Amino acid sequence: MTAVAKTFSMTMTPSVDCDSADTSDVSTFWIAGLPGYLVTEYASDNNPHYDDTGDDTMAHIALDMFAEISRIEITYQGQLAGIGR
């Protein structure tokens, strides 16, 4: 995913971290021994409207950032599926 982000984004810098925490959305995959990835804004540290505040609504989504993350994720998923190689 890091290589994809470098290709498709001028502002995103992925951080690869697998802390085996069982509190993330992808933890059940990790626990089962399956690969999985999670994209996050690192909670309310970077976004005051993150979902733990109850104010996480469409009005607070930065659509340009959302589009950039979507391009990276869709391209990465295609690579994992063997599309475009």
The pLDDT of residue 54: 73
Res. 44 pLDDT band, cuts 50 70 90: low
Residue pair 17/76 in contact by the 8 Å Cβ criterion = no
Task: For residues 85 and 81, give the distance between their C-alpha atoms in angstroms, rounded to a whole number.
Answer: 10
Task: For residues 55 and 61, give the distance between their C-alpha atoms in angstroms, rounded to a whole number.
Answer: 11
- Alpha carbon of residue 56 to chain centroid: 16
- Residue 12: domain span: 2-80
Here the tokens at position 44 are: 């309310």
pTM for the structure as a whole: 0.67
Residue 41 lies in a domain: yes
At position 76, the amino acid (one-letter code) is: Y
Kindly tell me if the per-residue pLDDT of 85 is higher than 60.
Answer: no
The pLDDT of residue 19: 61
Give how many domains the chain has, as a whole number.
1
Residue 62 lies in a domain: yes
Among the residue ranges 3-7, 44-48, 74-78, the one predicted with the least confidence is: 44-48
